[in-house]
Amino acid sequence: MSTTSWLGFVAAALVLLLIPGPAVLYIVARSLSQGHRAGLVSVLGLSLGALVHVAAATAGLSAILLASATAFGIVKALGAGYLIYLGIRTLFARQPTGSVEASPPRSLYRLFRDGVFVSVLNPKIAVFFLAFLPQFVEPSRGPVPPQVLLLGLTYVGLALITDSAYALLAGSLRHSLGGRVMQGPLPRYASAVVYLGLGVSTALTGRRH
């Protein structure tokens, strides 16, 4: 594709990424509850999950997913159920006594795994890529799949940068607040509300024709 089209895509993607959305809310919730390291690990998990959607869009699987009511419904139910599960688990979990720095490596693995699952099982990402990426593809300049792949990788790379910035800002806010505010139940309740809200939002996602 032309450099002009690619730069136009970068500009449009940055505008979308800088507006706080579900992924940002998820990352901020993680960072506020456990610190910036937890937020950054969650960002990596979400990014890996997004790469799965990029590969699916490149191979045309996203179109199949959106064309099949059964397939879309299964993915939607799994994604919504997992987010609601995270919300309920967070809501009723015991207040941790240590920070994420003191947590064993397995805890960071779980954060990464949760991020991957939340991203892969979110049908909104498939809808978004299928609707957004083709707007910047130029079939007259070559095969479409490599262009979709380039755009998808570009978007994931930009998301990695912007989401990491949100994680660091939220982690800094957590550090600044400190004390009883962050040690109390407020961060846990806020995180649970975010997860439950994302789960309900995913459950209500409809197919776009």
Rounded Cα distance between 25 and 19, Å, is 11
Name the more confident of 36 and 91.
36
Instruction: Please check whether residue 54 is in contact with residue 154, taking contact to mean a CB–CB distance below 8 angstroms.
Output: no
Side chain identity, residue 114: D
The pLDDT tens digits of the residues spanning 119-157 come to: 888 777 877 787 778 778 887 888 888 888 999 999 999
Rounded Cα distance between 71 and 77, Å, is 10
Name the more confident of 148 and 209.
148
DSSP letter for each residue of 52-73: HHHHHHHHTHHHHHHH-HHHHH
Whole-model pTM: value is 0.70
Distance linking the first and last C-alpha atoms of the chain? 26
Rounded Cα distance between 151 and 5, Å, is 10
